[in-house]
Structure 1
Amino acid sequence: MSTTTAAAADIKPPLPPFTHETALKKVKAAQDVWNTKNPQVVKNAYTPDSIWRNRDTFLRGTEEIVAFLEKKWAKENGYRLRKELFAFTENKIAVQFWYEWYDEEGQWWRTYGLEDWTFAEDGRMRKRMMSGNDVKIGDAERWFRDGVDVNEVEISEKHCDAELRSI
């Protein structure tokens, strides 16, 4: 592969500066890549020196990202994710997300969180900061069942009421 072809392969449109439309596309592209649960595919969305904070874990570079995601998805069975645009600027996007997964005992969890992303000029993410909380859920409370399009699930503020009453 030539250097020009390699450089072109590293470009991940849409590119900054973002508009509302391109920020929405970037968020859904990230959602789709993460739902592959393939660290080798996911790493391509990040610069080689990308900086991450994922809860209490700090990472730098795609090698550390791949190792982290391999461990994550070995634990989080049945992982299904939805991301929604929260806010954006020229080269930054903030998202809220929800994902569901079950542990080795079969207990279902929903993770609620926020991320802020900063992008390089080539459209790859150079910084990802994530905060999330895990909440136990029963099978009947699941949103992202097999065969359900995660984008079609109604997620409104009303889901907070039931969660708060169970605390």
Structure 2
Amino acid sequence: MSRPPLPPFTRETATQKVRLAEDGWNSRDPEAVSRAYTPQSRWRNRDTFQNGREEIVDFLASKWRNEQEYRLIKELWGFQGNRIAVRFAYEWRDENGQWYRSYGNENWQFDADGLMEERHASINDLPIEASERKFHWPQGRRPDDHPSLSDLGL
């Protein structure tokens, strides 16, 4: 199965790959998101490790049960060959109504078919007031005219 754009990446194709990943995660559909990864994909997410699509699906399902009203923006940081570096922020609230903005960086490595074989994510959570939120689009894909992280000063 091929998942364009394929490496080696250009600035244009790396930017496209980042936006496709953002769109997938904003769908909050663990099965659909998992199809962007190799069957043996290896992840480090904060202090947990996932190996393979089944663990990725379980992880994402749990994540989105706990991180309610999740909205994410990703931005290309760098790229070379089959690797992409991304910075991101997402907003969510917990079951008690406390809002957070989570900031992070990811390093991605892709196979020749454009599937992600490695993902390394470092993430920090910042409690915020509801009035401090910046991501207000309806849940799902971020509108094309919504400001980027850089535009928002994040």
In the TM superposition, what are the counterparts of 1:55-66 in structure 2 within 5 Å? 55-66=46-57
Q: What percentage of aligned pairs have identical amino acids? A: 52
Which structure 2 segments of 5+ residues have no match? none
Provide the secondary structure at the position in 1 that maps to 2:60: helix
In the TM superposition, what are the counterparts of 1:5-84 in structure 2 within 5 Å? 10-84=1-75
- Distance in 1, Cα, partners of 2:150 & 2:16: 21
Flag the 1:133–1:51 CA change in 2: closer, same or farther, 3 A. same
Flag the 1:64–1:113 CA change in 2: closer, same or farther, 3 A. same
- What's 2:80 paired with? 89
- Distance in 2, Cα, partners of 1:153 & 1:107: 24
- Aligned alpha-carbon RMSD (Å): 1.7
TM superposition shift of 1:150: 7.4
Larger Rg: 1
- Distance in 2, Cα, partners of 1:38 & 1:115: 20
- What's 1:165 paired with? none
- What's 2:100 paired with? 109
Q: Is the Cα contact below 8 Å between 1:144 and 1:153 reproduced in 2?
A: no
Q: Is the Cα contact below 8 Å between 2:73 and 2:149 reproduced in 1?
A: no
Quick one: higher RCO (CA 8 Å, sep 6+), 1 or 2? 2
Give a deviation string over 1:25-77, Cα, whole Å, max 9, x none. Answer: 00000000111000010000000000000000011000000000010000000
Flag the 1:94–1:153 CA change in 2: closer, same or farther, 3 A. same
> Which residue of 118, 127, 144 corresponds with 1:127?
118
- Distance in 1, Cα, partners of 2:13 & 2:32: 21
Flag the 1:87–1:151 CA change in 2: closer, same or farther, 3 A. farther
The answer to which structure has the higher helix fraction is 1
Q: How many residues align?
A: 151
Q: Is the Cα contact below 8 Å between 1:143 and 1:153 reproduced in 2?
A: no
Flag the 1:104–1:150 CA change in 2: closer, same or farther, 3 A. farther
Normalising by structure 1, report the TM-score: 0.85
- What's 1:5 paired with? none
